[in-house]
Amino acid sequence: MKLLVVLAAFVAFCAGSPAHLVPGDNSHYVEGESRYIWMPDGTGVPHLVDLLEKPSDEDITRISRNGANNEYWLYTRQNPDNYQLLVHGDVNSIANSNYVANRPLKVIVHGWNSNGHSTINPMITAAFLNVQDCNVIVVDWNRLANSLYWTAVIGVPGVGAHLGNFLVWLINTAGGNWNNVHLVGFSLGAHVVGNAGRAAGNRPARITGLDPAGPNWGGNSNALRSTDAQYVECIHTDGGLLGIFDPIGATNFYPNGGRNPQPGCWISTCSHSRAYELFASSIHNNHFVGRLCTDLQEARNVGCTGGVALNMGNSIISKRGGGLYGLTTNRSWPF
């Protein structure tokens, strides 16, 4: 009997959704049509997400205030492993920290089902501190990020606005220079940093969007835009599945066609996470040379051979540019 119930549930699941049953495999997914998609959590473990599951009205009220739950964790070469908590409005939290106003400022924002300790944060923090004496602020927005996917999507503008307002306060209070500010966001975090840039009057020097989240973001006016900072770059690695394929940055890199499977990956969740691994490696090595593409189709087909070259990623704050770029990478670190 018990087996029958399980079997019935299984059959209902298969009939009710086109979702593939191999965790992390999104080969069934059709943008704008499919209801289910696998998404990785902060350690890369796939979870099946129902894209139609909407938050309740009560949740939406709670979400609108949720950016107030952001935490800002400062890492520097003086404290590379243990963060110091910076609190919006609390001058002493800055004065008693290792924040130094004339250093470059890097901000890292994680994606869905993650937190400030998720892999992306120590990986990119270590890379920045390896090459530059800088302030790195990891944004932890775990309470909203660990809600239903739709809830997290609706919360993104508020989380971003709070981050932007915090940065304005930080720089006005403790000093700093917008031309030294680099915001980095992965997946939903890419849309968070876009909203942060807008709240800060588009003043940050650079935004790097690491495979900006795709589901529910096509044509969404709250998505990352090419004007949210002085220079906005996107690195697309799982376009059309977990990532958005559209060139929403000023410069858009499409390593290995910008889609699943990335070299060494079998599944979409792996290809999605590859975006922050490539970026971390680019900070250490600055070895990824993109070639200009004539159009998106050429980028998709790994056919870009244009004479204009631009390096993908890196930590150079004065970096500028525009257009579509393609390149190939290897299957394992440093790729």
Give whichever of 61 and 330 is closer to ligand NAG, judged by the CB atom: 330
What are the tokens at 137?
């602020």
For 30-94, the three-class secondary structure string (H helix, E strand, C coil) is CCCCCCEEEEECCCCCEEEEECCCCCCHHHHHHHHCHHHHCEEEEEECCEEEEEEEECCCCHHHH
Cα separation, 52 vs 45, in Å, equals 21
- Spot the catalytic one: 97, 147, 187, 281: 187
330 binds ligand NAG (CB under 6 A): yes
Which position's Cβ is nearest ligand NAG? 330
Give whichever of 305 and 330 is closer to ligand NAG, judged by the CB atom: 330
287 binds ligand NAG (CB under 6 A): yes
Question: In the bound complex, what is the minimum distance in angstroms from residue 290's beta carbon to ligand NAG?
Answer: 10
61 binds ligand NAG (CB under 6 A): no
Number of residues that bind ligand NAG (CB under 6 A): 4
Give whichever of 34 and 286 is closer to ligand NAG, judged by the CB atom: 286
The residues, any chain, with a CB within 8 Å of residue 51's CB and separated by 6 or more, are: 34, 35, 36, 37, 149, 150, 215, 216
119 binds ligand NAG (CB under 6 A): no
Give whichever of 65 and 331 is closer to ligand NAG, judged by the CB atom: 331
Q: To which residue do tokens 């009939």 refer?
A: 15
Cα separation, 136 vs 83, in Å, equals 10
State yes or no: is 211 an active-site residue: yes
Cα separation, 330 vs 335, in Å, equals 4
- Spot the catalytic one: 211, 228, 238, 246: 211
DSSP characters for 266-321? -SHHHHHHHHHHHHHHHHHH---EEEE-SSHHHHHTT----S-EEE-S---TT---
State yes or no: is 187 an active-site residue: yes
Give me the amino acid identity at 51: L
Question: In the bound complex, what is the minimum distance in angstroms from residue 333's beta carbon to ligand NAG?
Answer: 11
Question: In the bound complex, what is the minimum distance in angstroms from residue 185's beta carbon to ligand NAG?
Answer: 24
231 forms beta bridges with 206
Helix or strand holding residue 325 (H, E): strand 323-327
- Spot the catalytic one: 268, 272, 273, 282: 272
62 binds ligand NAG (CB under 6 A): no
Give whichever of 117 and 284 is closer to ligand NAG, judged by the CB atom: 284
Give whichever of 256 and 260 is closer to ligand NAG, judged by the CB atom: 256
Give whichever of 218 and 334 is closer to ligand NAG, judged by the CB atom: 334
Q: In degrees to the nearest 10, what's the CA dihedral of 91, 96, 97, 100?
A: 70
284 binds ligand NAG (CB under 6 A): no
Cα angle 61, 63, 64; round to 5: 70
Q: Which of 98, 66, 65, 96 is closest to 81 using CA atoms?
A: 98
Per-position x/- string for 239-278, each x denoting binding to ligand NAG as judged by CB under 6 A, each - no binding:
----------------------------------------
329 binds ligand NAG (CB under 6 A): yes
- Residue pair 238/223 in contact (Cβ under 8 Å)? The answer is no
Cα 250 to its chain centre, rounded Å, is 16
Question: In the bound complex, what is the minimum distance in angstroms from residue 256's beta carbon to ligand NAG?
Answer: 10
Cα separation, 171 vs 178, in Å, equals 8
Per-position x/- string for 8-47, each x denoting binding to ligand NAG as judged by CB under 6 A, each - no binding:
----------------------------------------
- Contact footprint for ligand NAG (CB under 6 A): 287-288, 329-330
Catalytic residues: 187, 211, 272
